[in-house]
Chains A and B, each alone.
Chain A
C-alpha cells in the first residue's frame, strides 16, 4: 500500500473525531432537565451543594466554553469526572478489560465457528449438512440476543450449573456464556455470508482451471478459494470487532459483567452526562481506529483498494 494512502487515512481521523465529539457532546448538552437535581432523587439538595456541583461541572457555562474545557481535558486523556465524583478515565480503565475479554471471546467464536460453518456448508453444498447449517444459522441470526442470553443463562447456569451465571469472579469461565450469546449469532451470519462467497469463488475461472490441472481439492479450497474470499470477510469481521469493543450492552446487562456497555446503560438510566459522553466518545475512538486498521489490512490483502 502506498504511504500516501496511509497518511491520508490518518489525517482524516482528526476531523471525524472532532465531529463525533461535537455530535455527542451537543446531544447531551441540549438534553432537557437538570442533571444535578437528579443526584438526590426527589430530595431537595441544599442550594450551596447545587452551586458547588454546578461550578464543578461547568454547567453554568455556555456550550462553547463547556465544549472547549472538555476538549482541553480530553487532549491529555482526561475524560472528566462523573456526577458522583469518579474519574471517567478510571472507570474506563477498570471496565475496559472486561469488555475486551468478552469481545475477544465472542470474536473468537465468530471467527472459528463462522469460518468452519462456511467452509463445511460450501464444500458439502446441497447435502443435508449444508441444509441444516443453513436453517440453523438463519435461526441463530434472527433470534434476539437477549433470548439467547436468557436461555443460555437458565439452562447452563441455573439448571445444569455448569458455568457461572453472573459477574466475573470465576475468571475465564465467567465469559463463556456471554461470549456464546454474542458469538453464536455473529458466527451464523459469517457462516452464511462466507458460504455464498466461497461458492462464488469456487465457480470462478481460476478455480476451474486449478481443478482442471488436477490440484488436490483441499489445496484448491485452502489456497485459491479462501484467499479470494478473505477481503469481504475480513471487512465484516473488522466491523464486528469494532462493534464488540463498543460494549455489548444487552449481554453485559444480562450477565452482570462490569464492562463498558453495562456502564453506559447505568449512566443513561441515572442521567450521568459526563459518564455517557465519555463512554460514547471512547467507543467512537475505538471504532474509528479499528475500522482504520481493517481498511489498511484490506489494502494490504488487495492492493487495488488503495487506488480508490
Chain B
C-alpha cells in the first residue's frame, strides 16, 4: 500500500488509509443480500485520487475501492468468517504436491465492453504484469509462479510465464516454484485481475476508462482530482449491485469531512481528528471497526543495545496504548496480537501488550537496565502522530526512567534508515496486508528473507515454521502452524505491537447496508442501498 506508514494516522490524507492493498468484489453473492425492492438510486462515497486505474499497476487504497466495484476477481472472502470463496472462479483445485493449481472460471461472463471473460483474459494479464520491462508496480506478486525469473532479467527472452497454461476457454493451470498453502487467498488481490483484449491496444487509454468484469462499470472517463462515476453493468452475470449509480468524488484532505457534515456526500471514513465529532453528531451510523493495517514500534534488534528480549518486553509493557489512543489516536484500536482481528489465526494472544509498570521495571532490571538517551524516531509532517509519540516518550520516561528524545526526519530519509537497518532506536511503523492471511503478517516482517524484515529478526526456527505453514496441505491446517510462529514473535518482540487502524464509516440517512468487506478495508459498494423517499 503506497506510502502507508506515512499516512497511517495522517489526518490530512485520511482517505488513503482506507484499505490495505486488497480489495475485491463480492459479486459471488456472499454477505448480506439486498432486500427486494431496495434497488436503484445514486449514492456517493468519499474517495481519493488513484495513482492508476490499471489494477496491476496500482498499490494503494484509492484505486482499490474503484476496483472493488468494477472487477470481480477469482476469489472473494466471506464477510463473517473471512474464508476465501470462489467468485469469478468456479473452482480452484491444488494438485497433490501443492505445486499446480487448476482454475476453472464461470462460463458466460463478459467484460463491460461485451468481450467474454476467458482463461486467456487472466493468463495474458498476468504475463503482462509479470514482464519486467513493463515496469508494473505489482510485478513482484508473480514471483511464486514458475518462469518469473526468466521474465525479469536485464534482457528477458520470454514474455510469458512458463507456469501458466491455458487448458480451454474456462480452464487454466498455474504452476508454482514451491508449495504455498495461501495461494488461493492471494487470488483475492487486484494483481490477479483479468484484462480484456482492448487493454493491450492502448493501456494509457484503458487507464482513463478501465473495463472490468465487475457489477459496476465506468460512467464516463476518470475525471482526475474531481470524481469517478460508476453505473451498474446491465449484463453482469453475478448478483447485480443495488444502486443504479455510484459517485466516488475525490478529496485530498479534511474537506471530505466538511463536505459530509454539509450533507454533500453520503458515506465517508472518519479518522482520528473527527471521530469524537462523529460519535456525538452521527451516533447511529458510525460504524467503528478494526481495519487490516497493523501498527507497531519497530526495534533495531541489530543494535546490541536492543539485543535483549527482556528490554523489548519492558518497553512494550511500559506503554498505556489505550490511554494514548483514547486521547490522541482516537480512530485506532490497541493491538493484542501481531495481526488484526479480521484475520483467520488472530487470537489476541499478546501477554506483554498491556500496561504493567511493575512488570516492565522488573524486565528492565532483568535486561540489565538502560543507559543513556533513547531515540524515538518518527517521520516529519504528521503532527498528531508526533503528539502520540510524545506521550509514549513520556510513558517510558515516567515508568522506566529512560530519557527519551523524539527524532523526526523526512519520509525518504526515514524509510531509507528503516530499510537499511540504520535506526538507532524505536520507530513508528506499520504493515498493511496484501491478502488476508496470517502468513502475510509474519513472513515478510520477520522471516530472515522477509521483504520488510526491518527489525533484523533472524531465527531459523521461525523460518522453518513458516515453510512448514506454506507447505501445509490445506488452509485450515496451515493456521495453527503460523500461530506457533506468531507466538515466537510475541515472546521475542522484535517489534512492539501498537494497534490497528480503524476502518470507521459514517453515513447519511440516505443510505443503508454500508458494510466493510469482511477482512478487506473496502466498503462493499454493490451492497449499499439507497433509501427511496416514501412515495
Contacts and interface: CB of A to CB of B under 8 A. Distances in A.
A and B touch in the complex (CB under 8 A): yes
Nearest to A266: B252
Contacts of A31: 410, 412
B52 A256 contact: no
Q: Which 10 A-B pairs have the closest CB atoms?
A: A33-B412, A48-B132, A52-B135, A256-B255, A258-B225, A166-B255, A46-B140, A44-B451, A48-B152, A166-B259
Interface string A261-278: 011011001110000000
Interface in B186-225: 224-225
Interface residues of B, number: 62
B333 interface: no
Contacts, number: 162
A94 B415 contact: no
Contacts of B431: 42
Contacts of A85: 52, 57
Contact of B2 (A41, A153, A258): A41
A53 B134 CA distance: 9
Given A165-B264, A168-B226, 13 more contacts: A32-B412, A37-B415, A44-B451, A48-B135, A48-B153, A49-B137, A51-B154, A52-B134, A158-B261, A166-B259, A254-B255, A262-B225, A262-B252
B150 to A, nearest CB: 11
Interface in A33-80: 33-35, 37-49, 51-53, 56
A179 interface: no
A108 interface: no
Contact of A165 (B154, B258, B411, B419): B258
A95 interface: yes
Interface of B: 1-6, 12-13, 21, 49, 51-52, 57, 59-60, 132-137, 139-140, 143, 151-154, 224-227, 249-256, 258-259, 261-264, 381, 410-413, 415-416, 418-419, 429, 431-432, 434, 451-452, 454
B249 A33 contact: no
Contacts of A91: 224
B3 A52 contact: no
A46 B251 contact: no
A44 B419 CA distance: 10
B261 A49 contact: no
9 contacts: A42-B4, A42-B454, A43-B1, A46-B152, A48-B135, A52-B134, A91-B224, A166-B258, A271-B411
A40 B136 CA distance: 11
A201 interface: no
A254 B252 CA distance: 9
Contacts of B1: 40-41, 43
Contact of B262 (A37, A53, A165, A169): A165
